[in-house]
Amino acid sequence: MLQILIKRAASQGLLCPPIPQGNADYPVIQYADDTLLIMQADARQLFFLKALLRSFSDSTGLKVNYSKSQMLPINVSQDRMKILANTFGCQIGTFPFTCPGLPMGTTKPRVEDYTPLMDKIERRLTACSSLLSYSRRLQMVNSVLTATATYAMCTLKLPKGVIDNIDRARKQCLWRGSNMTERRELGCLAHGKKAQEQRRSRCHQPERAERCPPSQTSPQVL
């Protein structure tokens, strides 16, 4: 509903994108309860946008938390940003910002910008991995840790250092046992004959033929 109101206001010329897009839709990005708007640094448009959000809140009962909202400048002076932020009643943010859970900015993200992503994986690792069995840890790696990294890689190209850090966390989660007995049992199972047969059957590799002993007879000369 909010997107319909904003697009209708843009069609009437009350809201204008920073770059003219012709008949294209107004750039509105929504994910869960987060909304991202791209607009010109104009006080008149901010007044109208705040009035539109107030009408949306009155009609739906959904309140806008302006104290958690941010205004991110692109080629706008600091003095003008202070005036616009006071007009809208929000804070002034900096690039890169997180949306939704990924670092967004005008330049390529650095390794330090992926710290929230790596901290998120490590928090899930240290929270319950030591309390789970090996099978449960394997399920956690596949369904949680790997899925979190895959979600990030669908949008951004992760640096090698970030991938190594995530792999280190996945290995630590998988092989962290509650005691040394469990680790020894896993090691024996991984190198046992039964495990080798299972791996061979998965790969459809035939068993290696036994080498025939060399002939004990001396060669004959005809």
C-beta separation of 114 from 162 below 8 A: yes
Q: Which of 44, 68, 70 is nearest to 52 (CA)?
A: 44
Show the CA angle centred on residue 95, arms to residues 93 and 100, nearest 5°: 85
Is residue 137 domain-shared with residue 164, that is, in the same domain? yes
Q: Is residue 206 part of a domain?
A: no
CA distance 98 to 21: 26
What residues does 37 pair with on adjacent strands? 28
Residues of the chain falling short of pLDDT 50: 177-193, 195, 199, 203, 205-222
Cβ-based burial of 213 (10 A; exposed 0-12, middle 13-18, buried ≥19): exposed
Total domain count for the chain?
2
**Confidence at residue 201, expressed as pLDDT on a 0 to 100 scale:** 57
Residue where a domain terminates, one of 68, 94, 120 = 94
> What is the rounded distance in angstroms from the CA atom of residue 7 to the CA atom of residue 1?
10
Cβ neighbors of 187 (< 8 A, separation 6 or more) are none
Asked if 182 and 134 count as a contact pair (C-beta separation under 8 A), the reply is yes
88 and 7 within one domain: yes
SS3 of 104, please? Answer: strand
183 and 156 in a single domain? The answer is yes
What is the predicted pLDDT for the residue at 134?
80
Quick check: is 138 in a domain?
Answer: yes
User: Which helix (H) or strand (E) element contains residue 97?
Assistant: strand 97-98
Which of 47, 64, 94 is where one domain is finished? 94
User: Which structural domain range is residue 161 located in?
Assistant: 111-189
- Helices then strands, counting H and E runs in the chain, come out as 9, 6
